[in-house]
């Protein structure tokens, strides 16, 4: 994240109606609060790239056609199965990704993209308001592209349900990322879409107050982007294990959305 002249992360402005402007030279449209004080952060428009969107849509379409051609019916139980499995995995993956990239050890990683991501995540603790001027949703484009791409590459050997689960994982990830963005927007007094406003108010999504605890030094809690098992399973086990970096390292490189698809396919073949 780039530097800003002044840390405004702790200042909140009163919400107001929004108007749309264009950031000259920045390459993206931005929403600006008309009654916000001069030093308040602006809200960048959030969008996903055409490639990850197209690949995910193709994966879903393949699953639909495959299911249509199948003799098996796709009922409510199948739908619930896809929703629950995809949500639980996305909740775990997002928590683990965040926790792993917050580790100082990754700042000196020999894998350049990991070192870059770790720096970006950890710089965000110091100047969280800069997030509001970025297309945070678009930052996961490469991850979604790779996840859906692998789903398509393995599609000849996977079921419709598996294809739907992979697509839903990317959707839950996008929801978590957007809620993170709009949570910071709420902290700074911006109006946000009703989905995130009421999702947080009704406890369906992590609240800005919950996430603000993560932004309190030493930044050692609430790594979640969704409401799930972080408080009852992931973080208790992580701390009980001495906050092991090697455990996170092993999980990050073996249970990510790319490897997990291959492992699930291999496990299904063995069990079959």
Cα–Cα dist 227/215, whole Å: 17
- With respect to residue 252, please indicate whether it lies within any of the assigned structural domains: yes
The answer to whether the Cα torsion of 26, 32, 35, 37 is positive or negative is: negative
Residue 121 pLDDT > 80: yes
Work out the average pLDDT over 116-135: 87
Tens digit of each residue's pLDDT (9 = 90 or more) over 247-260: 999 999 999 999 99
Q: List pLDDT tens digits, range 193-234.
A: 999 999 999 999 999 887 666 666 565 768 899 999 988 899
The more confidently predicted of residues 72 and 252 is 252
Domain count, the chain: 1
Residue 58 has pLDDT above 70, yes or no: yes
Residue numbers of the domain that contains 202? 18-271
Indicate whether 2 belongs to any domain: no
User: Across the strands, what pairs with 213?
Assistant: none
In 3-state terms, what secondary structure has residue 18? Answer: strand
Helix (H, G, I), strand (E, B) or coil at 21: strand
Q: Does residue 170 fall inside a structural domain?
A: yes
The yes-or-no verdict on residue 71 having pLDDT over 90 is no
Decide if 9 is inside a domain: no
Q: Is residue 69 part of a domain?
A: yes
Q: Would 10 be classed as within a structural domain? A: no
Q: Mean pLDDT over all residues of the chain?
A: 83
pTM over 0.95: no
pLDDT on residue 262? 95
125 within a domain of the structure (yes/no): yes
Residue 3 inside a domain? The answer is no
Cα distances (Å, whole numbers) of residue 39 to 8, 33, 36, 42, 186: 8, 11, 8, 9, 16
- Say if residues 181 and 196 touch (Cβ distance below 8 Å): no
- Tell me which H or E stretch contains 44: strand 43-44
């Amino acid at each position: 994240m780039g530097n800003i002249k002044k840390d405004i992360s702790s200042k909140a402005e009163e919400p107001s109606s929004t108007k749309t402007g264009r950031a000259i030279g920045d390459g993206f449209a931005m929403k600006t609060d008309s009654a916000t004080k001069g030093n308040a952060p602006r809200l960048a428009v959030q969008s996903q790239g055409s490639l990850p969107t197209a690949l995910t849509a193709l994966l879903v379409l393949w699953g639909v056609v495959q299911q249509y051609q199948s003799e098996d019916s796709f009922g409510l139980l199948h739908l619930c199965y896809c929703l629950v499995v995809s949500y639980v995995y996305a909740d775990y993956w997002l928590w683990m990704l965040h926790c792993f990239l917050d580790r100082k050890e990754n700042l000196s990683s020999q894998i350049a993209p990991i070192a870059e991501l770790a720096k970006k995540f950890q710089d965000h603790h110091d100047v969280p308001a800069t997030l509001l001027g970025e297309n945070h949703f678009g930052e996961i484009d490469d991850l979604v592209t790779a996840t859906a791409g692998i789903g398509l590459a393995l599609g000849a050997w996977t079921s419709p349900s598996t294809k739907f689960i992979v697509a839903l994982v990317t959707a839950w990830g996008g929801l978590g990322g957007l809620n993170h963005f709009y949570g910071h927007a709420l902290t700074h007094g911006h109006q946000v879409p009703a989905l995130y406003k009421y999702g947080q108010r009704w406890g369906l999504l992590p609240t800005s107050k919950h996430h603000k605890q993560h932004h309190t030094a030493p930044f050692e809690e609430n790594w979640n982007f969704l409401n799930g098992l972080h408080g009852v399973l992931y973080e208790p086990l992580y701390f009980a294990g001495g906050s092991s970096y090697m455990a996170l390292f092993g999980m990050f490189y073996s249970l990510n959305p790319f490897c997990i698809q291959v492992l699930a396919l291999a496990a299904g073949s063995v069990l079959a």
